[in-house]
Structure 1
Amino acid sequence: MSLGPFDALFAFLQTHANGNLHLAGLFVLLLLLASLELGLQFGKFIARRRTPTDGEKSSVNFATAGVMGLLAFLLGVSLSMASDRYQQRRDSVLAEANAIGTAWLRATVATGAEGATMQRLLRDYTETRIAVVRGSADPAEVDRLNQRTNSLQNELWQMARTVAERSPTPISGLLLSSLNEMIDLSLTNRRNFTSHVPAYVLRLLLTVSIFAVGAVGYGFGLVGSRQPGLSVLLLGVWTLAIVLIIDIDRPQTGEVRVDPSPLVWTLQGFGPAK
């Protein structure tokens, strides 16, 4: 969904949101202030040409209220989508921690030297997964952690396969099953951490915000009242709401991040390294 010139504004906002959330918030606030001022000056221009009637003012207020209602709806939808994704990340981290813990316990009963080696690899694997959840602003570091995850998964699977082929018992079958679940959940986690609110939703939110604030400024201009206190409060609240959505939607670079505590607790449950 393309919104013409607003795509460039959104691209600028998205770029700076990844690097500096405060700068992105300032950009949104300045953008809304400019929209408010343009609407205000246009309203004053119309009022200077002819005095608006009470009916015209009432119509403008009614239309402005409708646009603000639409904006509130879009804001609620966007925040709900971002919150849902945040909760999915939390749930998948907990599920992965449980799967790793189960694989560790089953590796303790694996026969031969593979059991101790698998425990050591699972410890390294958990530390890697903690680093993945904590995130990094460096794409190269993210790629390195993902590659390390894949490498450890392959090593663990080959060892479990060796144990199962040598000793095809229910225990070895359960070990393969737990490792398979652990690997599947790492992919689920990766999907959740790279899943964002659709860009067109955020573009639409920003676009409607600009027009809605401009409509408010137009109404102020018609009645000849700038309302600075109300304007600052309104724009401040809307800016904070938009920035919060952007922040939640950036799980590895924003301020609102998923707590890796379940994985940390699992690692602690392994006991001291041997």
Structure 2
Amino acid sequence: MSPLLDNPFGLFVLALAGLWLIALGGYYCQQIWRPLRREEQDEFKSVLGASLTLLGLIVGFSFAMSVNRYDMRKSLEESEANAIATEFARADLLSLPAATALKDKLKPYLDRRIAFYETQDQAALARIEQETAKLQADIWSIVRDAAAAQPTPIVALAVAGANDAINAQGYVLAAWRNRIPVAAWGLMAIIASACSGLLGFGGQRFNAFLLLVVPATISISFLLIAEIDSPRGGFIRVLPINLITVAESFKAP
């Protein structure tokens, strides 16, 4: 994914400046070529209206896509918290040494999962993912050895719980990588540029403020979509509220 799409404010500034310049370019192109004649005004307004309608539909679909992905990330965070809490409770089904070892691994594992949601540094994120993978291997090794030593249906519950907790992390990672395609952003940018150029080309007189209204509206739409679609960029992010609640319950006496 492009770094620009993980920087919503940077995307907003770039879109606003670019679209406004395109609108100005459209106005000056009309002045250099020739102003629209009166009989051409109705046809031009139809073309501009159709272009803006198409842009509005694409922006609306993109916004819906970003909201769906955001809701999915929130739902999977809740599911992961439940999976880890369930496995912590099922650890008591194992023998005392295995249960103690499993709980000692689940606590730092939960801390790494919370850090995954909160960190924005890529180097720190890579380190967190490596530590998470190692803790997952340790957790699976504990329940695997416990099942081999005591292959009973009760122990199988702890094994299934560990599997669910590990799988939940994979589902979360997949959801965070599921973003609006770059091609969709490119299509929105092309149509937005065309609308801005047409807006400037159809201006009867120069008015910098009016030429800025449509680019500003489009740029704000891009900003909101990028804010919701980007898991780590911007201010709208999925917070590990449920994971933090589970971590606090682990520390309770």
CA contact (8 A) 2:85 2:246 kept: yes
Which amino acid letter does the alignment assign opposite residue 77 of structure 1?
Answer: F
- Choose the corresponding residue for 2:73, options 89, 92, 95: 89
- Corresponding residue for residue 212 of structure 1: 195
**What is the TM-score when the length of structure 1 is the normalising length?**
0.86
Secondary structure at the counterpart of residue 146 of structure 2 = helix
Q: Distance in 2 between matches of 1:260 and 1:230?
A: 43
Secondary structure at the counterpart of residue 202 of structure 1 = helix
- Corresponding residue for residue 36 of structure 1: 23
- The yes-or-no answer on 1:22 pairing with 2:9 is yes
Identity rate, percent: 23
Query: Residues 200, 16 of structure 1: CA spacing in aligned structure 2 closer, same or farther, 3 A cutoff?
Result: closer
**What is the TM-score when the length of structure 2 is the normalising length?**
0.93
CA contact (8 A) 2:91 2:103 kept: yes
Which amino acid letter does the alignment assign opposite residue 214 of structure 1?
Answer: G
Q: Distance in 2 between matches of 1:67 and 1:98?
A: 47
1:72-104 per-residue CA deviation (whole Å, 9 max, x = no partner) reads: 111111111111111111111111111001000
Q: Distance in 1 between matches of 2:147 and 2:135?
A: 18
The Cα RMSD (Å) is 1.8
Q: Distance in 2 between matches of 1:96 and 1:23?
A: 32
Q: Distance in 2 between matches of 1:198 and 1:91?
A: 22
CA contact (8 A) 2:27 2:206 kept: yes
- Corresponding residue for residue 155 of structure 2: 172
- The yes-or-no answer on 1:201 pairing with 2:188 is no
- The yes-or-no answer on 1:45 pairing with 2:35 is no
Residue 141 of structure 1 deviates from its aligned partner by: 1.8
CA contact (8 A) 1:137 1:252 kept: no
1:112-164 per-residue CA deviation (whole Å, 9 max, x = no partner) reads: 311112112111111100111223232x2222111111111111111111222
Q: Distance in 2 between matches of 1:15 and 1:130?
A: 23
Q: How many residues align?
A: 253
> What are the ranges of 5 or more consecutive residues in structure 2 without an aligned counterpart?
none
Q: Distance in 2 between matches of 1:209 and 1:149?
A: 42
- Corresponding residue for residue 95 of structure 2: 111
Residue 249 of structure 1 deviates from its aligned partner by: 2.3
Q: Distance in 1 between matches of 2:76 and 2:135?
A: 19
- Corresponding residue for residue 247 of structure 1: 227
- Corresponding residue for residue 213 of structure 2: 233
- Choose the corresponding residue for 2:60, options 72, 76, 79: 76
- Choose the corresponding residue for 2:139, options 145, 150, 156: 156
- Corresponding residue for residue 188 of structure 1: 171
CA contact (8 A) 2:11 2:222 kept: no
